[in-house]
Amino acid sequence: MRGSNLPKTITAPPFQPGVAPTPAESGEILSEDQLGHLRHFDNISRLPDNDWSGMLQRVPFQDDGATVRYQLAYASFALALTHLHRLPAAPGLFQPMLTRLIEKMLLPTVWGYWRDVSRGGGALNSYIQRDPEWDPVARENIMYSGYLQTMITLNRYLFDDRRFDAPDSIVLDTASPFWGGSSHRFTYDRESLNENLYWQLVENGYLGIACQPNCIFQICIQPSILSYRLNDFITGGARADEITAGYKRAWEEFGQLDETGHFTCFVQYDLKNPIHASDITVNAWLGTLLNMWDPALVRDRYSAFMEGELKQAGPGELFVTQPSGSIEAQLMSPMAWVAPWASEIGDQATVDGLLAYADSHLGREWRDGGLFYRRNDTAADDLGRATLVDPLSGNVMLGYSRLNIPDGLWRLYNRPLAPDHHRTPALVRVADDIDVSQAVFDRDAARLTFRVRRRTDLPLRGRSADAGTVEIGRLGGQGEWELRRGSEIISSGTGDTLVVECPTEATTFTLTKRGGDHG
């Protein structure tokens, strides 16, 4: 039996940003699946350098939309959204993961493709022939540089980590003894990276920055726009507003949407030739990101784009048929972006249906405490149901969708952190064998609530000196504090930090000023 089309019309929920509290604000606890996705991101971040186990695509050369740079980048996005909306008082869980993902992003195996792609002569720019360029950031290649920029910016914005503000702190370095010649080393810092991309945008009239030479995609500039917005939050200014206003004007020439109402995918810039894409993956990818700063347009198109795309399998299970056509379309599951898009729009019924299908039919697997979906290169089963799992979907985006909240990216873009965000009590260090399923500081009650458990079933974890513990920091402003487990006071003091031994059973702790409200 083939999957049947759903009779119902998919409609975007009304745009009501900020009406609902975040899961953190409403006291939600992460599910086992959500914890599993976080653990998988952590596992990826801890792989040895150049060990891309489970992350490689079936095609070589990192040409496709599921390649490792996208996995590293969107895992970072997922971490940012989860930290912000679900576990805001656990920087010690997220920041080390993000730093490790950035270090992977800087490995030459991630960006070395640019030496070849920069020459042009590809399917989208066959008329261009240039000398190879090594620096993956200097010009074009926003499909790498924009993501690196965003990861660096998230690290500064969310954690006030200034390591990449130092001159020459972002190092892109490679050499091969077999190739001969000199090594290739390029250094940047957060500001010079931002400036470099900004002036490329200006030079292109804000239309964007090319991925492959001369091909300016709508999608890949969006993370960079997020970076400029977060940098505006960090340093002041309104560069993101300048860029988005210029972007809107620039795309009037080509149309953000084509005559069928689908997004224009990219422009061959020197030919002034817009290339359209009707497949759902491209439209859902851009729709997800564009919700940050143009939610009206995205919501307006959501229903039309989704029309006929969703099919029902078992009860409560939805899938999206693999589109036919381009090679690119064959490499990525549309689930990779339909699920995140539905999660961003707040169409929870669709998210739940897609994840239920994935859990039953798409190779759901636990490894080393991490939850992911195993890569599968077959497009459909004998019943016509989608089975393809590309590494971006399986490692990152289905988990992203389970962790995101309605308008999660919109909130990141539009709601600056509270001025005291980096000074309020928080879990500033989390050992690698600890699961954190709740971590929030209630400003009104001056109360830190966190829920943790120690894992003893992960053979590669728990070997460090701090195993089994979390450290609460930033307690200086609390005066005399007390830590409770349930109603029992288990510690009190006036110090700025406190190390807590975590039980193997998930346990909720609260820390308040002495005699404070423990909720």
Quick check: 245 and 229 in contact, CB under 8 A? no
Residue 187 contacts another protein per CB under 8 A: yes
Looking at 64, 189, 317, 442, which residue binds another protein (CB under 8 A)? 189
* Closer residue to another protein, CB minimum distance, 243 or 397: 243
- Point out which span in 32-40, 41-49, 97-105, 191-199 binds another protein (CB under 8 A): 191-199
- 162/152 Cα distance (integer angstroms): 10
Query: Dihedrals φ, ψ of 371, to 5°?
Result: -105, 130
Smallest separation (angstroms) from another protein to the CB of 205: 4
Q: CA-CA distance, 423 to 477, in Å (whole number)?
A: 8
Q: What distance in Å separates the CA atoms of residue 218 and residue 351, rounded to the nearest whole number? A: 25
Q: Which of residues 438-467 bind another protein (CB under 8 A)?
A: none
Residue closer to another protein (CB basis): 22 or 264: 264
For 138, the token pair is 């200097």
Q: How far apart are CA 369 and CA 459, in angstroms?
A: 10
- Cβ-based nearer residue to another protein, 204 or 376: 204
Pick from 192, 491, 497, 507 the residue near another protein by CB under 8 A.
192
Determine the interface stretch with another protein among 188-196, 277-285, 459-467, 468-476 (rule: CB under 8 A). 188-196
For another protein, the binding residue among 41, 144, 198, 247 (CB under 8 A) is 198
Alpha carbon distance 431, 37 (integer Å): 17
* Shortest Cβ 228–another protein spacing (Å): 12
User: According to the binding rule CB under 8 A, does residue 519 interact with another protein?
Assistant: no
Backbone angles phi, psi at 268, to 5 degrees: -80, 105
Matching residue, tokens 């308008």: 407
**Dmax of the chain from CA atoms?**
73
| CA 448 – CA 510 distance, rounded (Å) | 6
> Could you tell me the smallest distance in angstroms from the CB atom of residue 206 to another protein?
8
| Site pattern 290..309 for another protein (x: CB under 8 A) | --------------------
Stretch that binds another protein, among 68-76, 235-243, 429-437, 469-477 (CB under 8 A): 235-243
Nearer to another protein, 203 or 377 (CB): 203
> Does 195 interact with another protein (rule: CB under 8 A)?
yes
DSSP track, 26-90 = TT----HHHHHHHHHHHHHHTSPTT--TTT--SSSTT-STTSHHHHHHHHHHHHHHHHHHT-TT-
Q: Which stretch binds another protein (CB under 8 A): 77-85, 238-246, 289-297, 450-458?
A: 238-246
Among 175, 238, 271, 490, binds another protein (CB under 8 A): 238
- In degrees rounded to 5, what are phi and psi of residue 255? 90, 120
Question: Residue 13: helix, strand or coil by DSSP?
Answer: coil
Binding mask 199-228 for another protein (x = CB under 8 A): xx-xxxxx----------------------
Binding footprint of another protein on the chain (CB under 8 A): 167-168, 187-189, 192, 195-196, 198-200, 202-206, 238, 241-242
